[in-house]
Amino acid sequence: MATYKFMIDGKLIDSEKSFEVRNPATGEVIGSVAVSSPADVENAVQSAKKAQRSWAAKSDEERKKTLMDVAQVLNDNAPYLAEWITKEQGKPLAGPGSLFEMQACVGWTQVPASLDLPVEVVFEDDTRRDELHRKPLGVVGAITPWNWPLMIAIWQISPSLRAGNTVVLKPSEYTTIGTLEMIRLMNTVLPAGVLNVVTGDGSIGALLIENKDVNKIMFTGSTKTGRKIIDASKGNMARLTLECGGNDPAIVLPGTDAAKIAGDLFWGAFINMGQTCACAKRLYVHENDYEAVIGALDAVSAQMPMGNGMDDGIVLGPIQNKMQFDIVKSLVDDAKANGARIVRGGEPLGGEGYFYPITLVADIDNGTRLVDEEQFGPVLPIIKYKTIEEAIEKANDSDSGLGASVWGTDLNEAARVAKQIVSGTVWINQHGAIHPMVPFGGAKDSGYGVEFGVEGLKAVTQPQIISIKK
């Protein structure tokens, strides 16, 4: 069994300590990972700090070309890396799975490489000219989750490098090997020290966050961990971009054709087995359409084969780890104990792997755990409402505010409802439709700061005013 090494200053580094990585579909050990030490974290940050000077000194065109070379490496190695995603994370190769994730890695590298941040003249008169320049921040510490391990890493890496920063990344211990292999391959075209990776549990991430020479922290994960990062970064005053998950509501407006929207609603809720921050996690349906929408979703769910993502024809995989599997089971069990109706699923499938079926839960409301807590799994509570005002109130009744969606044929009415929902993004007749040119970020406890597009690129820079007396 191979042991996968982490990379500092362009060199692969081994360690006396290691941990095993298992396939969540089979339980088999698929490799081991060398564990970084506190000294390794310090070395990685210092390597990034040293490399940042020369990387930032390169022209925009040089950095853009290098990122395009990185995108080509990712494209050339997409099948290889996609297999690692499936074996480690569980999502199938096909459909909106691992090959899809790799396509996103390519696109989210190419787009920042195409963007410019020109000098802005913010004020000028006869006496003075004031220019706003965008400068790199320095060293970016990136902390990535296990649900979209390579794609979210790219979201943090690519804009940071484009802007002239360097990066030290700490991947989730659940999905480390694919990330290590991706960073190893990216380093074949990047200068040494520009992109480094350290490995281990949360204590290694904490050392990275607290390091005095880290200037920016990018994190995707739980609100609980996000709060710890805020506290831990007070010593170095690092700038923060925090995407802390969500409990996204979806509202189906009265009279909407259930059959027409069922397919898109299904994937809005269950892409990556619901293990996506911006999945639809609470569905609000008018009382007159309630059973029709439930029936349409049930019919779509029945057509979706679940199993080992390496097998042909599979579109749904396992939950990634036992911790999350137990959370999902606990929330469904609580709903059943409190009188909810299980339309589909509701019990673990058993056997090898963390398989939990697509589960539709009806006759449930706000105030129950399954509605109020982010399930982050293949379960959708469906809540009945009488008036649009009630639906909006219940949709906003959450500490989270990442995404939301409104579904209906009257786009003006859908927009009117959307504007009343407190979240970073509200989609209309779609859910989770992120785009590399469109800013994405949360409200309330879903974090702060934005990623993607020009605004995301600005977020990894320091504005500097050059004020000139004429």
Residue 243 annotated among the catalytic residues of the structure? yes
Q: How far from the centroid of its chain's Cα atoms is residue 342's Cα?
A: 29
* CA pair distance 340, 225, nearest whole angstrom: 31
Task: Evaluate whether 135 touches 168 at the Cβ level (below 8 Å).
Answer: no
Residue 105 annotated among the catalytic residues of the structure? no
Beta bridge mates, 284: 251, 383
Describe the crossing of helices 177-186 and 78-89 by its angle, rounded to 10 degrees. Answer: 160
* CA pair distance 109, 106, nearest whole angstrom: 5
What tokens appear for 133 in the block? 């320049």
Q: Which of 101, 173, 243, 451 does the annotation list as catalytic?
A: 243
Amino acid at 277: C
* CA pair distance 411, 232, nearest whole angstrom: 44
Q: Which of 105, 173, 244, 277 does the annotation list as catalytic?
A: 277
Task: Evaluate whether 335 touches 381 at the Cβ level (below 8 Å).
Answer: yes
What tokens appear for 330 in the block? 């606990």
CA pseudo-torsion sign 137, 463, 400, 270: negative
* CA pair distance 215, 220, nearest whole angstrom: 17
H-run or E-run covering 29: strand 29-34
Catalytic residues, by residue number, are 243, 277
